[in-house]
Amino acid sequence: MPETPAIRTEKLSKRFGELAAVDELSLAIPAGELFGLVGSDGAGKSTTLRMLTGIMDPTAGEVFVLGEDMRRAGEGVRSQLGYMSQRFGLYPDLTVQENLRFYADIQMIPRRGREARIAELLEFGKLTPFKDRPAGKLSGGMKQKLGLACALVHRPRVLFLDEPTNGVDPVSRRDFWRILYGLLAEGVTVFVATAYLDEAERCGRVGLMHRGRLLACDTPKNLRGILKGGVLELATADPRHAVRALSGAFPGGSVVLFGERLHLFAPDPQEAEARARSVLEAQGLEVAVRPVQPTLEDLLVSLLREQG
């Protein structure tokens, strides 16, 4: 018999009046996976997380976590879930350590072993030197790490994260992902909602969500395979000048700067190459062109364009 998925939804839907915030979402996530739900603001990610954690009832469809129906889940399964929402409730006047103790109380962690667990989490998030600092005086990146530590105080088996690195600097984002990989190594299932496509590339599997619907769901590698058309990399002496010149000829976000190179996404790469060359030559710019592997962002852009 196959193992029960850690998370499973069947045509999960949530309506708010006329708006289908989540529209027939079906997912199966095996235990120990790092799953990324990717979409922009308003795509339905947070609503999905609220239903997965049992905070909100679905309008229709089914939702199971660790085999339990979340529509009538009891404390048993909830105590095995961790959830870090976008506005995670840290108490700014309490110190780092006091916040962790507070969450340990809420989760009813027995006194015995509690201080050891807190020390372990402080170490894990590199927060030990700041344990006596009020949470309100932490940097954005450290607040996120403390939020994560609080969500982990009871050793959950499934962890839900809602845009954990939104607005956090790149160094802290990198640290945060290292912590997530550490959890995976311990067998925790991690479900992360993010708007950053470069973060989605790091997930085992990715669901691309838009206006309540799942557009595609697979490994990053397989997702890249479904892209219709190709991506050309253009190298010129003046990439910023080139991107401005080309954005008129290829509207709708087909041209982007990728470091010092340009990426041009085109349904017909041959035709696009000829047209791009003529635009750039008219500007007196020489260009070298080669096909490259598309990114998840290229794929999402092309799927969204198909949607119109």
Ranges of beta strands (E only) in the chain are 7-16, 19-29, 34-38, 60-65, 68-69, 81-84, 158-162, 189-194, 205-210, 213-218, 230-236, 255-258, 261-266, 287-292
Name the amino acid, one letter, at 178.
R
Name the amino acid, one letter, at 51.
M
Supply the minimum distance, in Å, between the C-beta of residue 199 and other proteins.
Answer: 9
Q: Which is nearer to other proteins, 29 or 70 (CB)?
A: 29
Q: Are 185 and 14 in contact (CB under 8 A)?
A: no
What DSSP assignment string belongs to 229-269?
A: SEEEEEEES-HHHHHHHHHHHSTTTTEEEETTEEEEEESSH
Supply the minimum distance, in Å, between the C-beta of residue 54 and other proteins.
Answer: 26
Supply the minimum distance, in Å, between the C-beta of residue 73 and other proteins.
Answer: 31
Judged by the rule CB under 8 A, the positions of this chain that interact with other proteins are 39-43, 139-141, 166-172, 174, 177-178, 181, 184, 195, 197-198, 201-202, 210, 220, 240, 243-244, 247, 251-260, 295, 297, 300-301, 304-305
DSSP-derived pairing of the beta strands 287-292 and 255-258:
unpaired
Tokens describing residue 44: 């339905």
* Three-state DSSP state, 98: helix
Supply the minimum distance, in Å, between the C-beta of residue 298 and other proteins.
Answer: 9
Supply the minimum distance, in Å, between the C-beta of residue 108 and other proteins.
Answer: 33
Supply the minimum distance, in Å, between the C-beta of residue 19 and other proteins.
Answer: 9
What is the rounded distance in angstroms from the CA atom of residue 101 to the CA atom of residue 130? 15
* Three-state DSSP state, 228: coil
* Three-state DSSP state, 37: strand
Supply the minimum distance, in Å, between the C-beta of residue 3 and other proteins.
Answer: 20
Supply the minimum distance, in Å, between the C-beta of residue 156 and other proteins.
Answer: 20
* Three-state DSSP state, 277: helix
Q: Which is nearer to other proteins, 107 or 172 (CB)?
A: 172
Question: Among 233, 244, 213, 87, which Cα is nearest to 162's?
Answer: 87
What is the rounded distance in angstroms from the CA atom of residue 236 to the CA atom of residue 289? 9
What is the rounded distance in angstroms from the CA atom of residue 119 to the CA atom of residue 127? 9
